[in-house]
Amino acid sequence: MEPPARPANARSLDAPINRSDFELRADWWEYDDPFEDLGAALLTAEQIKNYARVTGLVYPFNEAFLKGATYEIGIANNVYYWDEKKKKKVVSVSSASDKGIVLEANSITFVQTDVEFRLPQYIAIRFNLHIKLVHRGLLLGTGPIVDPGFRGRLLIPLHNLTSQPVTISKNEKIVWIEFSKTLFGHSSNKDGYRVENRDFRVFPKGKRWLEPEHYFQKANADNPIMSSISGFVGKTNRKIARIQAWAYSVSTFGLVSIVIAVIGGGYGSWSVYNNALSVVRADEARRAQLEERIKRLEDCMTKKKPTPPSPSC
């Protein structure tokens, strides 16, 4: 079945209803600008609304999330991060707890946007972190640009620079998107004047609708992507734990040694005391024997020798 033909009057189109409508609008106006009278500029809220209505720029689109010149978006699908053991964790936003998604202290967490982008070849976008999250200690690379022609969901790295976990609720808006119209299809001549140029570099179709795993593989061969602070803190905590365990074992061993020393020292002292007491008692016995012999000799010398002689003299 052939797709519907592109209407002649683009500006009279109603807003697309479903994903198929958005895809069809994006194909219709990928190269041809329905608002070509509008020059290259940062789009205002009303202009963003018109391009979303006609070209299927953002799906789903809700004008309630428009600001003066930006569009507010949140997170959906999956969240990716690596734990301290360098294992990749994938958390589904829909199955997360009611509290929301937790960004661990000193960590990098990758989140997917809750909208799909179908950028024509003449509109680029730039995204910045919501100021309330900046004040909570989160950081996003300054003003990344997404080239015209991109289609898919953005994968955004959020850095938690604080020493405490930060929680993002499921429905919380985290990023402001800016839309800028370029001079696609035009160039400048040698005098600097704008001239038409249809031979223009376009976004490769093979790089559309890529999954997060593709970006991880391309960026770091699917190796862990972690904060260096997180790794340092983890190593420090493990060293502290080892030192505490060592100190506990040493203190326990020392206590046992002291008890053994006290017991052993007491036993040694008792042995020395017994040995010394035995020596003293033996000396006292010998002294008593000598005193008795001296007394007998003195008696013999003071008395007349008996006839016959006494055995004691």
Is the peptide bond between 120 and the residue preceding it cis, with omega within 30 degrees of 0? no
pLDDT (average), residues 159-165: 94
Domain boundaries, the chain: 10-184+194-226, 235-292
pLDDT for position 238: 64
pLDDT (average), residues 3-9: 87
pLDDT above 50 for 259: no
pLDDT (average), residues 275-291: 69
Burial environment of residue 164 by CB neighbours within 10 A (0 to 12, 13 to 18, 19 or more): exposed
pLDDT (average), residues 140-149: 83
pLDDT above 60 for 257: no
| Residue whose C-alpha is closest to residue 157's, from 129, 136, 131 | 129
Of the pLDDT bands very low, low, confident and very high (cuts 50, 70, 90), residue 61 is very high
| Residue whose C-alpha is closest to residue 156's, from 210, 196, 109 | 109
pTM over 0.75? The answer is no
Task: Note the CATH number of domain 10-184+194-226.
Answer: 2.70.40.10
Beta-bridge partners for 195: 187
Per residue in 270-279, pLDDT tens? 465 466 557 6
Per residue in 170-228, pLDDT tens? 999 999 999 999 988 766 666 666 667 767 788 999 999 999 999 999 988 889 988 77
The per-residue DSSP string of 119-142 comes to: --TTEEEEEEE-HHHHTTTEE--S
Q: What is the mean pLDDT of the chain?
A: 83
pLDDT for position 158: 95
Burial environment of residue 84 by CB neighbours within 10 A (0 to 12, 13 to 18, 19 or more): middle
